[in-house]
């Protein structure tokens, strides 16, 4: 009888071993699709390869999720043919999608799969679609899960994630940069207490088994003091929520006497947050200075770049990244395809921002952070790069690709989207003998150098560089969807009085050549008549513009009648 049991156990062991070998074979390099010769024009670490799953979505591809059968769903920031979600399927096994279908009549960023449903968000609501077995398209009649999120221009996307206990966590971004009553106004104090903290600037928790929940009535504020957490993921190894916060903008533009252009380009940090219930991360009163490794008091609340004040003791990030890289997605890797060092580590997608001007823009890559026990166990490194297609990016609009969303496939592959072209890459590991060249890059930020204050110089270019360049960029092209261009637009070449009025009164919600831009243009009436005349003359005679100058007397007359 003993021998019989030994034989049975041996047979079971052999079956388990064979099963493991078969599982290993399913994700081996011999069964993976062949990577593109140039990895779809991106660089990767040694033995990794990539192929372009789909190329042709156009602009504004946002977050992505992958079903357990390999079907891909991508959220669009702007609707394509009145649809906000695009679904893809590969029926040939070559890694390229050959079926494409569109659905969902709302746009936004958030998308994910949970418990048989495809969840998606607009700027004010979260919906879900019941997935159908073997069907690419879900039930096209969505259920409303959450509504009532405030309508706002800034930070209106609603990314979300799930835990394994029936909860959905939704980012509600701040509607402003630093809670100023007059948005993005130089030298103006912030509201104290900040009223935005009641229903915005944090992460809210709701139930997944309930529909028609209303923000402010159902659910609860899980964490507060978060300006905008576009990257959000639940770490199942530590049973905890993590987020990537976008740091505030325009330290130099709004407070030129306190911060140089070089400091503006690198401060404050983009923060990697471990989020517990009840946490307060300090926005708008505080920002994190990665060079001092401290939460600093914001200038809108009396800070001068060196004071902590009320920010002393505010919960810090678990890791800080240089400013204005724009972290737009976060993923903890749980697959078995990649080498062991990547297991449970964090992949962070940096979209690239606009607030580093006049210095070159940074970001446009996917970073990797090794993790142990819920904390970084080593320095962060660039995992996937060269999305921008150029060594130096002056304006984010110049980047060929801007990585945006990331998702893990059922076999452990990673999928990455570009908001600039709509490309979707699939990144795979091909083993130690694949002869793929290593391209891992450790990111090092240059030392901040002090620059002289040029705000008193009345020259038009100097005024532009100080107060206008951060938003409208060095080439005057602005930032798509945020800050309007100054190149041959009706506002620039048209009525002088209207253009002067923009600087004296500010502007919000007006169309520029048919498009609405979300950032508010604050009044710049603190500038002298001469400075306004000079900077507008500079704008009207640069960036390909060739229009007449504006005299100081013209500004003076309009200001007197204001």
Query: Residue 55's pLDDT is what?
Result: 86
* Nearest in space to 324 (alpha carbons), one of 360, 378, 366, 295: 360
Strands 213-214, 143-147: pairing kind? parallel
What are phi and psi for residue 341, nearest 5 degrees? -65, -20
Q: In what order do the strands lie in the sheet with 279-280?
A: 160-162, 167-172, 202-207, 220-224, 279-280
Query: Residue 467's pLDDT is what?
Result: 75
Query: Residue 448's pLDDT is what?
Result: 44
Token reading at 327: 């972290």
Query: Residue 302's pLDDT is what?
Result: 97
How many Å apart are CA 498 and CA 487, to the nearest integer? Answer: 16
Mean pLDDT computed over 2-25: 41
Query: Residue 412's pLDDT is what?
Result: 97
Look at residue 331 and tell me whether its pLDDT is greater than 80.
Answer: yes
Q: What are the DSSP calls for 342-383, one per residue?
A: GTT-EEEEE---STTTTSPB---EEEEE-EETTEE-S--EEE
Query: Residue 437's pLDDT is what?
Result: 52
How many Å apart are CA 253 and CA 414, to the nearest integer? Answer: 38
Look at residue 207 and tell me whether its pLDDT is greater than 90.
Answer: yes
Most confident option among 100-114, 139-153, 449-463? 139-153
Mean pLDDT computed over 245-256: 93
Query: Residue 442's pLDDT is what?
Result: 52
pLDDT band, residue 543 (cuts 50/70/90):
confident
How many Å apart are CA 75 and CA 417, to the nearest integer? Answer: 10
Helices (H) and strands (E) in the chain, counts: 9, 32
pLDDT band, residue 23 (cuts 50/70/90):
very low
Q: Give, as one character, the DSSP assignment of residue 335.
A: -
42, 50 contact by CB (below 8 A): yes
Mean pLDDT computed over 23-47: 78
Look at residue 9 and tell me whether its pLDDT is greater than 60.
Answer: no
- Computed from CA positions of residues 522, 528, 529, 535, in that sequence, does the dihedral angle turn out positive or negative? negative
Domains and CATH numbers, the chain: 42-429 (2.120.10.30), 460-560 (1.10.760.10)
Look at residue 144 and tell me whether its pLDDT is greater than 70.
Answer: yes
Q: Residues near 249 by Cβ (< 8 Å), separated by ≥ 6?
A: 177, 184, 324, 355, 470
| Terminal Cα distance for the chain, rounded | 102
Q: Residues near 482 by Cβ (< 8 Å), separated by ≥ 6?
A: 354, 471, 517, 518, 519
Q: Residues near 514 by Cβ (< 8 Å), separated by ≥ 6?
A: none
Look at residue 485 and tell me whether its pLDDT is greater than 90.
Answer: no
Computed over every residue of the chain, the mean pLDDT equals: 87
What are phi and psi for residue 235, nearest 5 degrees? -95, 110
Look at residue 196 and tell me whether its pLDDT is greater than 80.
Answer: yes
Q: Which of 381-390, 435-444, 542-551 has the lowest mean pLDDT?
A: 435-444
The tens digit of pLDDT for each residue in 332-381 reads 999 999 999 999 999 999 999 888 877 888 999 999 999 999 999 999 99
Query: Residue 358's pLDDT is what?
Result: 78
Q: What is the pTM of this model?
A: 0.82
Q: Give, as one character, the DSSP assignment of residue 93.
A: S
Most confident option among 134-148, 478-492, 505-519, 545-559? 134-148
Mean pLDDT computed over 155-171: 97
20, 405 contact by CB (below 8 A): no
Q: Give, as one character, the DSSP assignment of residue 494.
A: S
User: What percent of the chain stands above pLDDT 90?
Assistant: 61
User: What percent of the chain stands above pLDDT 70?
Assistant: 88
How many Å apart are CA 383 and CA 214, to the nearest integer? Answer: 39
Bigger pLDDT: 348 vs 483: 348
Cα Rg of the chain (Å, integer): 25
Q: Give, as one character, the DSSP assignment of residue 445.
A: P
Q: Which of 73-82, 143-152, 276-285, 393-402 has the lowest mean pLDDT?
A: 73-82
């Amino acid at each position: 009888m003993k021998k019989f049991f030994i034989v049975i156990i041996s047979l079971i062991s052999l079956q388990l071993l064979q099963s493991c070998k078969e599982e290993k074979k399913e994700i081996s390099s011999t069964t993976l699709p062949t990577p593109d010769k140039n990895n779809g024009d991106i660089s990767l670490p040694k033995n990794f390869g990539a192929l372009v799953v789909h190329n042709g979505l156009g602009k504004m591809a946002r977050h992505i999720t992958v079903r357990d059968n390999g079907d891909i769903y991508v959220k669009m920031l702007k609707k394509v043919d009145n649809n906000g979600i695009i679904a893809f399927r590969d029926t040939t096994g070559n890694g390229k999608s050959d079926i494409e279908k569109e659905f969902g009549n709302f746009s936004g960023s958030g998308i994910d799969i949970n418990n048989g449903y495809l969840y998606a968000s607009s700027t004010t609501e979260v919906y879900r679609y019941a997935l159908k077995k073997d069907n690419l398209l879900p039930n096209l009649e969505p259920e409303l899960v959450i509504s009532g999120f405030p309508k706002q221009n800034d930070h209106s996307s609603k990314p979300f994630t799930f835990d394994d206990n029936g909860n959905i966590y939704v980012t509600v971004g701040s509607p402003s940069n630093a809670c100023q009553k007059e948005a993005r106004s130089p030298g103006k104090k912030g509201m104290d207490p900040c009223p935005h903290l009641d229903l915005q600037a944090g992460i809210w928790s709701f139930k997944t088994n309930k529909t028609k929940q209303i923000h402010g009535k159902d659910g609860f504020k899980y964490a507060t003091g978060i300006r905008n957490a576009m990257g959000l993921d639940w770490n199942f190894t530590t049973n905890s929520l993590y987020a990537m916060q976008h740091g505030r903008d325009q330290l130099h533009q709004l407070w030129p006497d306190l911060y140089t252009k070089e400091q503006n380009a690198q401060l404050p940090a983009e923060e990697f947050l471990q989020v517990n219930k009840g946490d307060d991360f300090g926005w708008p009163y505080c920002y994190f200075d990665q060079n001092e490794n401290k939460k600093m008091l914001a200038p809108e609340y009396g800070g001068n770049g060196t004071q902590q004040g009320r920010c002393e003791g505010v919960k810090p990030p678990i890791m800080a990244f240089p400013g204005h890289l724009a972290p737009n997605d976060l993923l903890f890797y749980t697959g078995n395809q990649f080498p062991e060092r990547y297991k449970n580590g964090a992949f962070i997608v940096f979209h690239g921002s606009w607030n580093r001007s006049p210095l070159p823009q940074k970001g446009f890559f996917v970073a990797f952070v090794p993790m142990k026990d819920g904390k970084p166990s080593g320095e962060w490194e660039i995992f996937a790069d060269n999305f921008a297609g150029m060594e130096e990016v002056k304006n984010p609009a110049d980047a060929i690709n801007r990585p945006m969303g990331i998702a893990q496939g059922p076999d452990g592959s990673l999928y990455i989207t570009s908001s600039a072209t709509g490309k979707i890459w699939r990144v795979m590991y091909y083993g130690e003998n694949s002869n793929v060249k290593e391209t891992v890059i450790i990111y090092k930020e240059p030392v901040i150098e002090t620059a002289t204050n040029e705000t008193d110089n009345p020259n038009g270019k100097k005024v532009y560089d100080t107060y206008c360049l951060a938003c409208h960029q060095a080439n005057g092209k602005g930032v798509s969807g945020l800050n309007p261009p100054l190149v041959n637009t009706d506002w620039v070449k048209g009525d002088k009085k209207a253009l002067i009025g923009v600087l004296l009164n500010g502007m919000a919600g007006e169309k520029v050549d048919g498009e609405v831009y979300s950032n508010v243009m604050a009044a710049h009436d603190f500038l002298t008549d001469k400075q306004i005349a000079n900077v507008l003359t500079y704008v009207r005679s640069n960036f390909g513009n060739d229009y007449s100058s504006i005299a100081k007397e013209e500004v003076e007359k309009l200001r007197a009648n204001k």
